[in-house]
Structure 1
Amino acid sequence: MNEPLAERLRPKTLEDYVSQTHLIGPQGALTQHIKMGLIPSMLFWGPPGTGKTTLANIIATESGRPFYTLSAINSGVKDIRDVIEKAKQSGGLFTTKNPILFIDEIHRFSKSQQDSLLQAVEKGWITLIGATTENPSFEVIPALLSRCQVYVLNAFDKSDLETLLQRAIEKDPYISQKNITLKETTALLRLSGGDARKLLNIFELIVNSEASETIEITDDAVLKKIQNNTVRYDKTGEQHYDIISAFIKSIRGSDPNGAVYWLARMIEGGEDVKFIARRLLISASEDIGNANPTALVIANNTFQAVSTIGNPESRIILSQCATYLACSPKSNTAYLAIDKALQLVRETGDLPIPLDLRNAPTKLMKELGYGDNYKYAHHYKNNFVDQEFLPDTIIGTPFYEPGNNARENAHREFLKQRWRDKYGY
């Protein structure tokens, strides 16, 4: 029994496929494409374990098309050209059933590798299906992106994951031989993080660790087993998001040692340096923000540098940035401010914009009072004049509340001088 449970339970038809009903439900976009026999080139964007590879296989099977697959981790331009040549010979322009080329982790392809796909997609020699865990707007070249439909796959919800567990218990030829009771599933579901493959691999690990044919699954048992077997279920890189989480939390917790350790784990595991650099950019604003605005500058420069240099030298640049961010004063006030504002916008809707703040590019707008009584701050002492910038119903609502650090204490004093008691600074 060398084949993992997740592979043994991989669905072969749309009827067996769990989740993503917005795509493969009765009215789903992909369901309609398959019914009509018109399969466009497409990109599947979603977190690990959401069925991207499985869905590509099912589409090929149900549409009766030849299926070729490449992994962006170990394929080069020559591999792409070889597959395209095979695809041209087995399908192409003279049949409606041109072959499907599935590329896993397409975001790892360089620009030249992605360029090598363009003609084949444009000429219809292949139908491209690419899978990515990264936003294709940033990772796929515009010319290729414009030729593909983008479909978002969501992390599996609780009911989807529980369905998979029941399917494993009832239908897997090995696990179904045991008497398994799912007394508690919270730990299994939490550890999976919505990743179906990870869930099934953890579940199989738990089951195989029990000598008895009668097994009761509890949260406590799951946590104890997993803590003792972390390496066994992590060796395939399925804790990709757990490690980046530990990395960012180390930075947030001002521990450069933890940050460098988790960075080393990612580098040694072959993680994309741009993926790491993007997370550093987010942390620079979310966790440091106005306590040290230079952090964002350094993180942005880090992203540009690693994009230019690549491995192995990028490890040094990433280490410099990670240790700098970890040693920086922390503030999440910018993060809290925008989330508070977004929440109020959702609750109050499109509140009227005060007339004095409106733009007045036409004569009619000016006649309607757009822009009237607006006070141009630079015409006043200290480049400030007391006027209202919020809609009437939320006047005086504070969103940005400066943190307790040197820079934001200065912000607070500045705001007190300008607005006095209006926002409670």
Structure 2
Amino acid sequence: MARKTARTESRQDLLHVERDELRPLAERMRPRTIDEMVGQRRLLAPGTALRRSIESGRVHSMVLWGPPGCGKTTLALLLAKYADAEFKAISAVLSGLPEVRQVLAEAAQRFADGRRTVLFVDEVHRFNKTQQDAFLPHIERGTIVFVGATTENPSFELNSALLSRCRVHVMEAVSPADILAALRSALDDSERGLGGRGLSIGDDQLRLVATAADGDVRRGLTLLEIAAELAGEADDAPDTSLEGTSVEGAATEGAEGQGGTVTDAILEQVLADRTRRFDKGGEQFYDQISALHKSVRSSNPDAALYWFARMLDGGCDPGYLARRLTRMAVEDIGLADPRAQAMAIEAWDTHDRLGSPEGDLALAQLVIYLASTAKSNAGYLAFGAAQRDVREHGTADVPLHLRNAPTKLMKQLGYSKGYQYDHDAEGGVALGQTGFPDAMGERVYYQPVERGLEIKLKEKLDRLRAQRARAQGEGSA
């Protein structure tokens, strides 16, 4: 009977080991203490306010804003552990208001029994205003320690009432060096990681995995796990029968069966289809188009080309990029180089005809040209100034000499009287007449810069404006 009981316990332990092995490596290696977390030194370095708060167990409601895989869920789990609180997690993608109310009711009962709840809300920005408002009274009463996780800018996605009750902590993408440290820890850890399995992988290969993770620790560990599995499959698997084998022996045999060497060919296969982080509708998208626009404006073709390539790599619609590049040609180059606008339209049309990837080169060459040529926003500023005058002066009358006079009555009323036909004037410009409403007087909106073609335009307009001012002054005298 004792032997049977021991055998039963052994099998139960074995099943527990097997179930643990089924969990992804990234989940098994989730940090258990603050010291085990990689990255986020700004927030969690010894002596920082957040770290002191966590270690003392006096945690506050907060919103964790950062990219995927930077440790938001892990930090929430650690908050609950250090505060000796119950940890509950819901996802704004999967949960509706009934589920939220149920979790909050359970937290209220737990609070009445003297135990706090750390409520982790993943993708909190996906909750609408009504759903977000449901948390407010519970945060105020202390029923829950609210921890919301979001990859989007809280200023845009969360309502002000929720933000006013939470501290926003910005988390950063984890550096390749820190991800490398996490990968090495997984390789050394025989309890939760890949240690003791006989897996062989070089330092340079590990660095490639850390770089390919693109700031995401979870992604790096997943890539390492896939490489380990492929390396194990490449070797002849031993007999893994568990009959008559101890728990320790079974675990060892299983580990040996998952050994092997991660070759360059295996790693190339694992990393072949990796993608960079890019959100076509989120803040990252607008940050990158801003970087592209400002690099063009700053006459830095190399930086502009980099951001253009980044956005294409992330799956941005080339038609959107073509439209934005055309806007840059109009807004930031303008009359300093009128060819830029024509070239933008031609590149856009070329891409429409060829499509990607061939047409991408036309847009790439446009990026280089726009960034390299002369810049002027004089036309942009002039148009804005004219629009302001239109709003301020209302419906000002057109001067009589500028009005059309197609009928006899209109001529009798003075329409077109005194108009000077410019082609008949000396130099081709009738300087003695104004082009503005009488109530406004002359205005100067367009101030050409001394770059590109506008150098010539500035010389001409400065001369004409001076002559017109003298002529109108003499006529008035």
The amino acid of 1:124's aligned partner reads G
Do the aligned partners of residues 334 and 42 (structure 1) sit closer, same or farther apart at CA in structure 2, a change above 3 Å counting? farther
Q: Once the two structures are aligned, what percentage of the paired residues are identical?
A: 29
Do the aligned partners of residues 14 and 225 (structure 1) sit closer, same or farther apart at CA in structure 2, a change above 3 Å counting? closer
Alignment check: 8 A CA contact 2:57 2:84 kept = no
Q: 2:198 aligns with which of 159, 166, 178?
A: 178
Matches of 2:322 and 2:142, distance apart in 1 = 44
Matches of 1:225 and 1:329, distance apart in 2 = 31
Alignment check: 8 A CA contact 1:291 1:329 kept = no
Do the aligned partners of residues 111 and 280 (structure 1) sit closer, same or farther apart at CA in structure 2, a change above 3 Å counting? farther
Q: 2:163 aligns with which of 140, 145, 149?
A: 145
The amino acid of 2:42's aligned partner reads H
Q: 1:223 matched to which residue of 2?
A: 268
Per-residue deviation, 1:99: 1.2
Alignment check: 8 A CA contact 2:85 2:116 kept = yes
Per-residue deviation, 1:152: 1.0
The amino acid of 1:67's aligned partner reads F
Alignment check: 8 A CA contact 2:199 2:261 kept = yes
Q: 1:417 aligns with which of 448, 453, 457?
A: 457
Matches of 1:334 and 1:241, distance apart in 2 = 28
CA RMSD in angstroms comes to 4.3
The amino acid of 2:188's aligned partner reads E
The secondary structure found in structure 1 opposite 2:200 is strand
Per-residue deviation, 1:112: 1.6
Is 1:23 the counterpart of 2:43? The answer is: yes
Q: 1:66 aligns with which of 86, 107, 111?
A: 86
Per-residue deviation, 1:158: 2.3
Matches of 2:125 and 2:31, distance apart in 1 = 25
Alignment check: 8 A CA contact 1:384 1:418 kept = no
Matches of 2:455 and 2:41, distance apart in 1 = 50
Q: 2:299 matched to which residue of 1?
A: none
The amino acid of 1:175's aligned partner reads L
Per-residue deviation, 1:242: 5.3
Q: Provide, for residues 82-127 of structure 1, a one-character-per-residue CA deviation record: whole Å limited to 9, x for no partner.
A: 11100000016x85x5311100111111122112112211222211
Q: 2:340 matched to which residue of 1?
A: none
Q: 1:383 matched to which residue of 2?
A: 445
Do the aligned partners of residues 85 and 195 (structure 1) sit closer, same or farther apart at CA in structure 2, a change above 3 Å counting? same
Q: 2:183 aligns with which of 165, 171, 175?
A: 165
Listed as ranges, the gaps of 5+ residues in structure 2 are: 1-20, 236-258, 290-304, 332-355, 376-439, 461-477
Do the aligned partners of residues 2 and 242 (structure 1) sit closer, same or farther apart at CA in structure 2, a change above 3 Å counting? farther
Q: 1:194 aligns with which of 207, 211, 215?
A: 215
Deviates further, 7-16 or 44-53: 7-16
Alignment check: 8 A CA contact 1:286 1:335 kept = no
The amino acid of 1:241's aligned partner reads R
Deviates further, 46-55 or 106-115: 106-115
Do the aligned partners of residues 64 and 379 (structure 1) sit closer, same or farther apart at CA in structure 2, a change above 3 Å counting? farther
Matches of 2:88 and 2:329, distance apart in 1 = 51
Matches of 2:447 and 2:279, distance apart in 1 = 49
Is 1:241 the counterpart of 2:303? The answer is: no
Q: 1:35 aligns with which of 52, 55, 70?
A: 55
The secondary structure found in structure 1 opposite 2:226 is helix
Matches of 2:134 and 2:319, distance apart in 1 = 31
The alignment covers a number of residue pairs equal to 298
Q: 1:8 aligns with which of 28, 44, 51?
A: 28
Per-residue deviation, 1:13: 1.3
Q: 1:365 matched to which residue of 2?
A: none
Per-residue deviation, 1:221: 4.4
Matches of 2:221 and 2:368, distance apart in 1 = 39
Q: Provide, for residues 200-256 of structure 1, a one-character-per-residue CA deviation record: whole Å limited to 9, x for no partner.
A: 1011111110134342454x64223332xx4xxx8xxxx58258599999x968x9x
Alignment check: 8 A CA contact 2:199 2:228 kept = no
Is 1:290 the counterpart of 2:328? The answer is: yes
Alignment check: 8 A CA contact 1:8 1:172 kept = no
Is 1:115 the counterpart of 2:115? The answer is: no
Matches of 1:106 and 1:89, distance apart in 2 = 23
Do the aligned partners of residues 150 and 178 (structure 1) sit closer, same or farther apart at CA in structure 2, a change above 3 Å counting? same
Q: 2:119 matched to which residue of 1?
A: 101
Alignment check: 8 A CA contact 2:30 2:74 kept = yes
Matches of 1:419 and 1:114, distance apart in 2 = 60
Q: 1:132 matched to which residue of 2?
A: 150
The amino acid of 2:277's aligned partner reads Y
Q: 1:76 aligns with which of 83, 96, 100?
A: 96
Q: Provide, for residues 49-90 of structure 1, a one-character-per-residue CA deviation record: whole Å limited to 9, x for no partner.
A: 001001100110111011111001111111111111000000
Q: List aligned pairs for 1:350-369, cutoff 5 A.
A: none
Do the aligned partners of residues 200 and 288 (structure 1) sit closer, same or farther apart at CA in structure 2, a change above 3 Å counting? farther
Q: 1:203 aligns with which of 224, 247, 251?
A: 224
Matches of 2:267 and 2:329, distance apart in 1 = 41
> Could you tell me the TM-score, scaled by structure 2's length?
0.53
Q: Provide, for residues 127-170 of structure 1, a one-character-per-residue CA deviation record: whole Å limited to 9, x for no partner.
A: 11011111111111111011110111111112211111111110
Alignment check: 8 A CA contact 1:285 1:335 kept = no
Do the aligned partners of residues 287 and 384 (structure 1) sit closer, same or farther apart at CA in structure 2, a change above 3 Å counting? closer
The amino acid of 1:222's aligned partner reads L
Q: 1:270 matched to which residue of 2?
A: none
Matches of 2:228 and 2:31, distance apart in 1 = 21
Alignment check: 8 A CA contact 1:288 1:332 kept = no
Alignment check: 8 A CA contact 2:24 2:222 kept = yes
The amino acid of 1:135's aligned partner reads N
> Could you tell me the TM-score, scaled by structure 1's length?
0.59
The amino acid of 2:229's aligned partner reads N
